[in-house]
């Protein structure tokens, strides 16, 4: 009986430590350039300065998501020069191994069994369209270290079809419960899949 209790206690301790280690792992560390970390810090500085809700993280993030979902976000005021610079560095390195963005046509063809010359020619003009690489290492890390099922479910859907509008993704994330919403995995997903994905499209407008 005593041995059984000791084994049970040991199992609980090991399991708890494993969960803690999983949730506390910094997914940004998989990028040895440090760009992901700098870009995330720039994103948070932008939205906290723009919305001015003090340290109210949930209100700040949800207000940002609500504006994206309703297409009412003021993109003339929100992005800082630093965030635009980070965006251009992401775009410049999109062909590099480990890039967190990928050409839409390449993403769609990853699971195609037969890629014909006709298909390649048809999608040649789509190479400039970039989407977040939902099957890449960074996003999979966010998925695996998420504290709840909501983010995992969203990523599972996007893995199958990444060509989903940013406003729809913002709507879905907006309703994630506070306990999961306030996690670093969700915040980084918002930063890169929403904020920087938008900037990837509009950065040329900033000269």
Report pLDDT for 106. 72
Report pLDDT for 124. 46
State phi, psi for 58 to the nearest 5 degrees: -65, -45
pLDDT in tens, 130-142: 788 898 889 999 9
Asked if 78 and 48 count as a contact pair (C-beta separation under 8 A), the reply is no
CA distance from start to end of the chain: 72
Domains of the chain by residue range? 34-206
> In 3D, which of 136, 132, 116 has the Cα closest to residue 124?
116
Gyration radius from the chain CA atoms: 19
pTM above 0.85, yes or no: no
- Per the model's pLDDT, the better-predicted residue between 109 and 153 turns out to be 153
Lowest-pLDDT choice from 11-20, 42-51, 191-200: 11-20
- Per the model's pLDDT, the better-predicted residue between 107 and 38 turns out to be 38
Helix (H, G, I), strand (E, B) or coil at 130: strand
Report pLDDT for 118. 40
Alpha helices in the chain (DSSP H): 2-24, 35-51, 57-69, 81-92, 104-109, 117-122, 137-144, 149-160, 166-174, 178-181, 184-189, 197-202
Asked if 43 and 196 count as a contact pair (C-beta separation under 8 A), the reply is yes
Asked if 102 and 192 count as a contact pair (C-beta separation under 8 A), the reply is no
């Amino acid at each position: 009986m005593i041995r059984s209790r000791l084994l049970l206690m040991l199992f609980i301790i090991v399991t708890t430590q494993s969960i803690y280690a999983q949730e506390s792992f910094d997914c940004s560390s998989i990028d040895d350039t440090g760009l992901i970390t700098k870009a995330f810090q720039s994103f948070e500085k932008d939205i906290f300065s723009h919305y001015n809700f003090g340290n109210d993280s949930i209100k700040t993030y949800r207000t940002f998501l609500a504006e994206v979902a309703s297409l009412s976000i003021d993109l003339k005021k929100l992005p800082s020069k630093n965030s635009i610079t980070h965006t251009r560095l992401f775009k410049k390195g999109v062909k590099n191994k480990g890039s967190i963005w990928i050409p839409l046509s390449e993403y769609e063809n990853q699971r195609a069994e037969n890629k014909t010359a006709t298909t390649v020619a048809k999608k040649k003009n789509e190479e400039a369209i970039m989407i977040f690489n939902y099957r890449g290492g960074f996003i999979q890390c966010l998925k695996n270290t998420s504290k709840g099922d909501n983010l995992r479910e969203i990523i599972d859907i996007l893995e199958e079809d990444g060509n989903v509008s940013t406003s729809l993704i913002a709507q879905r994330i907006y309703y994630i419960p506070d306990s999961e919403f306030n996690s670093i995995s969700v915040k980084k997903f918002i930063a890169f899949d929403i904020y920087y994905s938008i900037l990837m499209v509009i950065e040329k407008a900033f000269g």
